[in-house]
Structure 1
Amino acid sequence: MGVSKGGRTRREYSAEVPRQPDRLPTARLSLRRPAQADAVAVLGILSDPAVVQHNPSERVTELEDVEVLMRHWLAHWERHGFGNCCVFETPTGRLIGNCGVRWMTMHGDRVLNLMYRFDPSTWGHGYATEAAGALVHWAQDSIPGELVVARIRPTNLASQRVATKIGLRRDPAFDDEGEDGGDWAFTDRS
């Protein structure tokens, strides 16, 4: 164990972490571990320029690229027992986005990076808030003491609203430079 910024005790990457359920239900959604069969639907979302407007380097336009990305997501699940999820509307069963937490290093500290991407047809329905909130709650309960960080572009007001609604606060100490420019950090650090 080590100590992260803010005096929080943290486990090493290789330490045993309780597995995230393969399917995590919320009031209106079902978050589940990705499957390669989800690749076509994920491509439909991540190839939409509106979805990656604030992170254009994350746009994918080829099925092969999504399959590589999903193998990366699944490898994180295999190594750590949690990761990026595909998000489905419960009533329709339609894949509407992806949301998850994954290990990353920021400023020399290991953190749980929270990310979310949703089909524009679902924007404004509170799905990102519902999914991200469920995963932050799972992380805080299952991996206590680990810092959750959402990296958000300063111009991405919608994602900033999601982060604050789920209890994350602006934390300039973890601001970072991303591939597409500066990222503001929103964390669960008190």
Structure 2
Amino acid sequence: MFTARLELRRPEAGDADAVLRIHADRLACEHNPSDMITVRAEAVDRCRSWRAHWERHGFGYWVLRRRGSERVIGFCGLKLTRLHEAPVLNLLYRLEPAAWGLGLAGEAVAAVLASAPAAPPVVARVRPANVASARVALRAGLRRAEHLDTLGEDGPDWVFASAGL
């Protein structure tokens, strides 16, 4: 899938090094330190689980590259999960810090949401201090849903949700 500036493609086994590079970056995982990984085997497992989700459900997390470049700059996509016992599509967007502030996360999110399954609803769980992530969720059309806020692995999660939640 392509946007004006990005190529989004399904993860491959060879993406483990990019998964490790981005998820080992303290700044990239500043708001979600439990997502950090420092060992290649963990990156291989994470990449394998992303690929398995695609195989089971026909959608998942995409690998992001700038058009015309081979360098992976991040990941964006949807994963089927549960929130307060209800099925939801969790929206993930994580880019390397060098790609921040350019509107690339919003561009990737828009493409992902345009191709999203009609149900279940989409949610983005955002750390309260992560203003940039909240801005991306709001620009994507998600709305703040305080009644769904929860305690995540790294502290409070503010929930932004699509219509119907």
Structure 2 letter corresponding to 1:33 = R
List aligned pairs for 1:113-132, cutoff 5 A. Answer: 113-132=90-109
Quote the residue 1:166 is aligned against: 140
Superposed CA offset, 1:114-159 (max 9, x none): 01110100101111000011111211xxx22421000000110010
Mapped pair 1:178 → 2:152: yes
**Secondary structure of 1:121's match?**
helix
Structure 2 letter corresponding to 1:54 = H
**Secondary structure of 2:81's match?**
strand
List aligned pairs for 1:16-165, cutoff 5 A. Answer: 24-139=1-116, 143-165=117-139
Q: Distance in 1 between matches of 2:144 and 2:72?
A: 30
Superposed CA offset, 1:32-80 (max 9, x none): 1001111112211110000110100110111111001111111111110
Structure 2 letter corresponding to 1:158 = A
Number of positions where the alignment pairs a residue of Structure 1 with one of Structure 2? 164
Structure 2 letter corresponding to 1:182 = P
Name the TM-score, length of structure 1 as normaliser.
0.84
Structure of higher CA gyration radius: 1
Q: Distance in 1 between matches of 2:7 and 2:147?
A: 33
Q: Distance in 1 between matches of 2:107 and 2:91?
A: 13
Q: Distance in 2 between matches of 1:92 and 1:71?
A: 23
5+ residue gaps, structure 1, are 1-23
Cα displacement (A) at 1:111? 0.5
Structure 2 letter corresponding to 1:150 = A
Structure 1 stretches of at least 4 aligned residues deviating more than 3 Å after TM superposition: none
Identical-pair percentage: 46
**Secondary structure of 1:130's match?**
helix
Please provide the CA RMSD for this pair. Answer: 1.0
**Secondary structure of 2:115's match?**
helix
**Secondary structure of 1:101's match?**
strand
Cα displacement (A) at 1:189? 1.5
**Secondary structure of 1:25's match?**
coil
Q: Distance in 1 between matches of 2:147 and 2:122?
A: 13
Structure 1 letter corresponding to 2:21 = G
Q: Distance in 1 between matches of 2:143 and 2:54?
A: 27
Cα displacement (A) at 1:92? 2.1
Q: Distance in 2 between matches of 1:115 and 1:138?
A: 14
Q: Distance in 1 between matches of 2:80 and 2:128?
A: 23
